[in-house]
Amino acid sequence: MTDSTTATVDPAEVQQVPGRIVAAWQAKDAAAFAATFTEDGSMILPGDVYLTGRQRIQDFMAEAFSGPYRNTQVTGTPLAMKPLAEDVVLVLTEGGVLADGESEVSASSAIRASWLLRRVDGQWLITAYQNTPIAG
Q: How many CB atoms lie within 10 A of CB 135?
A: 9
> pTM of the predicted model, to two decimals?
0.91
In a domain, 124, yes or no: no
Host domain of residue 18:
4-113
Q: Which residues contact 7 (CB under 8 A, 6 or more apart)?
A: none
pLDDT value of residue 2: 41
Is 60 exceeded by the pLDDT of residue 7?
no
Say how many domains are in the chain. 1
In a domain, 119, yes or no: no
* Mean pLDDT for the chain overall: 93
CATH code for the domain of 38: 3.10.450.50
- How distant, in Å, are the alpha carbons of 62, 106, 108 from that of 15? 24, 24, 25
Q: Which residues contact 48 (CB under 8 A, 6 or more apart)?
A: none
Pairing of strands 37-45, 123-133: parallel
In a domain, 81, yes or no: yes
**pLDDT tens digits for 110-120?**
999 999 999 99
Per-residue pLDDT band at 8 (split at 50, 70, 90): confident
